[in-house]
Structure 1
Amino acid sequence: MIIDQLNEPVPGTSLLSTPTGDAYTDPEIFAREQAEIFEKMWNCVLREDALASPGQWKTVSVGREEIIVVRTRKAGIKAYYNVCRHRGMRVCTSGEGKSKTLQCGYHAWTYALEGDLVAAPNLTSMPDVDRQEYGLKPVHVRTWLGYVWVCLAEDPPSFDETVLGEVSTRFGEVESIDNYGIEGLRCGETKTYDVAANWKLIIENFMECYHCATIHPELTEVIPEFADGLASQRKNGEIHGASFGDDVEGFTVDGSSGVGSLPAIAPGQDRKYYAITVKPQVFINTVPDHVIIHRMFPVSHERTIVVCDWLFMPEVVEQGLDVANSVELFHRVNQQDFEACELTQPSMSSKAYERGGALVPSEHHIEEFHRWWAERLGGDVPVPAASAAAAVSGT
């Protein structure tokens, strides 16, 4: 099978083959990813506290669709396709707002926050119109870790298996992440990055640390073991927290102390960094005094929006404590990583990368990601026709 070929060792070497460059440049492959991955899996779209009161709504992009996420008066948070059921105009034409109802600006079809059609010109003269049937088309919603997660699939995959299962793989048990009390944390800083690179390059970068000694001087000062090239995400679900350096006081840009440890973390989580990839678009990073969460929103085969939140104890945010050194460390890591991805993207269309590249042994978990990606697309994906060694030699 193609998937097996993708993960076979390159003959005569310890290297593994990668997908071919087309996987990162072909708009048709990107469209398949949107349909088979992002539109069928759970996506983390926004913080729950961004919709603090009934009537508040935001629009978000999931795959090729635009979704309204709204806090209702009766049913908590709901989500709908941003499509009027009359003639298809966008119901919400800005990114956010607050209103008692959701009204299309074309013909004034009006919907309750709970989704039902409640008013329209001459609607009373059409008693046969089912107001639920012609209400906004709903999307599945879950809340977890203080975030809103949505799934566009008619029959969504198990949240426990596909989201909580990813956490179990990295933490050993879901309960371990509960020690950080993420639901109760507050956002101290949010930064949005517009990255000129394919979403898979960003995931691959996050999952490995073979590059850390080269481009992350601040990070390897705080976590010296990263300079050895092994990431905190390990093969086959090995549980590993990367330890701070002996003289490092906190996860900050200069190694100085942070803002005090979160109250419920376990002894084994003290002075350690853990990283989790929740496919297809979330990175969770935990350290003793704060949590960093990335959400990715692929825009095209060569552009990805990444939103990064730094979460702290409520009193840290409310008292205006200085978190600049904490934020600056991962902000620099983000900038360094995204620049590397942007410098990689153009080469994906080069003749020198037609047959793909290679993975070294410490990048074994990227192999697992490639296998997952190929399976999600049904195995019919571009893989090397010859070995990576042959591609490098040009034969």
Structure 2
Amino acid sequence: MIIDHLEEPLPGSSLLPTPSGDAYTDPEIFGTEQTEIFEKMWNCVLRADALPAPGHWQKATIGREEIIVVHTRKAGIQAYFNVCAHRGMRVCTAESGKNKTLQCGYHAWTYALEGDLVAAPNLTSMPDVDRKEYGLKPVHVRQWLGYVWVCLAEEPPDFEQEVLGEVRTRFGEVESIDNYGIENLKLGETKTYDVAANWKLIIENFMECYHCATIHPELTEVIPEFADGLASQRKNGEVHGSNFGEEIQGFTVDGTASGVAELPAIAPDQDRKYFAITVKPQVFINTVPDHVIIHRTFPVSESRTVVECDWLFLPEVVEHVQAGELDISKSVELFHRVNQQDFQACELTQPSMSSAAYASGGALVPSEHHIQEFHSWWYQRLGLQAPLPAASGSEKVA
């Protein structure tokens, strides 16, 4: 694996370098990312309330692995590799379902919701078979913010430090994420985007607002300071609450009032403000006074990423929406347009990653310098060396 990396800053400028183009196109690099990032870290996979009762299950893909997330009878929500212990066939072949047990369709090996092997042809004639050892292989599970988070590693990283620590540190003592009560909110709308772009382009796009004045007219109307190119996310983990415009009544596509009740516990410093953070490797959290938007990214290949976006509101708001008594479409439409605009930009960027003109990478302007923290993290996760000293020029780093 070869990565070009320029010294920093670029000569005679305030620009900082990005990774080289092949970081976004090389299947070998993508495979290493799957192994060293997505298959070793905590990933947010689905809403816990998508599995409301025992027997409900849903598949998810993390890295190169497919897993089953299931609501068990005895142990709450658990997750397993979707691999039969007998001959390896997928146990669950539909995307989701509800069953009393989980049965492989090849030789009818049958598993309890808790993962143990409970039945198979002629199993009674094999009393030496350990039902737990030959059960489904478990995956580490945590619940937070009303979502199910999983880690495929045998020894998962500390959730408190890697996930909760990052979020709470970035929100600070006053701008606490806990004030939004996200775990108690309900799903008002969800949309899935199939983006023909590398996952890192999507992360980088989300972290900066240098592009906002160019492609986000609705967003900069609601939050005028975004037109200046400064994002809510800043260098050294600082998160800045971005103010609504003086005449703006709500975080809606036209800036009018949403008609939706505000979240009751937000602090005064969170009112009429938008906050955004990235939880590496694949979650974006956006908060406004009356709802929360959460993106989950799932890399499929070096040039394709699926993004699932949820709009979360108070339970009573969702009840009124379902009864046809309340319309949240203006709230949803604002960030839906932002998503479409962002993902189109990423898709138009992806082909250039393989161009000779981008072989050595691009540049970050000062308002994007915080993205270098993401790049440094990426180099470290992949076991790549730090940038070379200035005298070495643009030599290769293996």
- Structure 1-normalised TM-score? 0.95
Partner of 2:234: 234
Structure 1 position 249 matched with structure 2 position 249: yes
Partner of 2:384: 379
Structure 1 position 351 matched with structure 2 position 356: yes
CA distance in 2, matches of 1:7, 1:100: 59
Partner of 1:158: 158
Structure 1 position 25 matched with structure 2 position 25: yes
Partner of 1:125: 125
Structure 2 counterpart SS, 1:250: coil
CA distance in 1, matches of 2:4, 2:161: 24
Q: Which amino acid aligns with 2:249?
A: E
> Once the 2 structures are TM-superposed, how far is the Cα of residue 168 of structure 1 from its aligned partner?
2.3
**Deviations, residues 99-141 of structure 1 (Å, cap 9, x unaligned):** 0000000000000000000000011111111011000000000
> Once the 2 structures are TM-superposed, how far is the Cα of residue 4 of structure 1 from its aligned partner?
12
CA distance in 2, matches of 1:159, 1:175: 21
Partner of 1:66: 66
Please tell me whether the aligned partners of residues 166 and 276 of structure 1 are also in contact (alpha carbons under 8 angstroms): no
Q: Which amino acid aligns with 1:189?
A: E
Between the aligned residues of both structures, percent identity stands at 80
CA distance in 2, matches of 1:142, 1:82: 18
1:79-98 equivalences under 5 Å are 79-98=79-98
**Which of 324, 333, 336 is matched with 1:331 structurally?**
336
> Once the 2 structures are TM-superposed, how far is the Cα of residue 10 of structure 1 from its aligned partner?
1.1
> Once the 2 structures are TM-superposed, how far is the Cα of residue 239 of structure 1 from its aligned partner?
3.5
Partner of 1:45: 45
Q: Which amino acid aligns with 2:161?
A: E
Q: Which amino acid aligns with 1:163?
A: V
> Once the 2 structures are TM-superposed, how far is the Cα of residue 375 of structure 1 from its aligned partner?
0.2
Q: More displaced, 29-38 or 9-18?
A: 9-18
Structure 1 position 273 matched with structure 2 position 274: yes
CA distance in 2, matches of 1:329, 1:130: 54
Partner of 2:196: 196
Structure 2 counterpart SS, 1:108: coil
Partner of 2:179: 179
**Which of 360, 372, 375 is matched with 1:370 structurally?**
375
> Once the 2 structures are TM-superposed, how far is the Cα of residue 240 of structure 1 from its aligned partner?
1.2
CA distance in 2, matches of 1:83, 1:175: 43
CA distance in 1, matches of 2:117, 2:250: 53
Partner of 2:317: 316
Q: Which amino acid aligns with 2:244?
A: F
Structure 1 counterpart SS, 2:180: coil
Please tell me whether the aligned partners of residues 167 and 173 of structure 1 are also in contact (alpha carbons under 8 angstroms): no
Please tell me whether the aligned partners of residues 170 and 275 of structure 1 are also in contact (alpha carbons under 8 angstroms): no
> Once the 2 structures are TM-superposed, how far is the Cα of residue 7 of structure 1 from its aligned partner?
6.6
Please tell me whether the aligned partners of residues 261 and 317 of structure 2 are also in contact (alpha carbons under 8 angstroms): no
Structure 1 pair 62–288 and aligned structure 2 pair: CA distance change class (3 A): same
Q: Which amino acid aligns with 1:371?
A: S
Q: Which amino acid aligns with 2:280?
A: K
> Once the 2 structures are TM-superposed, how far is the Cα of residue 162 of structure 1 from its aligned partner?
1.0
**Runs of at least 5 residues in structure 1 that lack an aligned partner in the other structure:** 388-395
**Deviations, residues 123-167 of structure 1 (Å, cap 9, x unaligned):** 111111101100000000000000000000000001111111221
Q: More displaced, 378-387 or 346-355?
A: 378-387
CA distance in 1, matches of 2:42, 2:125: 41
Structure 1 pair 234–3 and aligned structure 2 pair: CA distance change class (3 A): farther
Structure 1 pair 24–164 and aligned structure 2 pair: CA distance change class (3 A): same
1:200-219 equivalences under 5 Å are 200-219=200-219
> Once the 2 structures are TM-superposed, how far is the Cα of residue 217 of structure 1 from its aligned partner?
0.3
Please tell me whether the aligned partners of residues 179 and 265 of structure 1 are also in contact (alpha carbons under 8 angstroms): yes
Q: Which amino acid aligns with 2:9?
A: P
Structure 1 pair 333–353 and aligned structure 2 pair: CA distance change class (3 A): same
Q: Which amino acid aligns with 1:13?
A: S
**Runs of at least 5 residues in structure 2 that lack an aligned partner in the other structure:** none
Structure 1 counterpart SS, 2:377: helix
Please tell me whether the aligned partners of residues 168 and 174 of structure 1 are also in contact (alpha carbons under 8 angstroms): no
Q: More displaced, 166-175 or 203-212?
A: 166-175
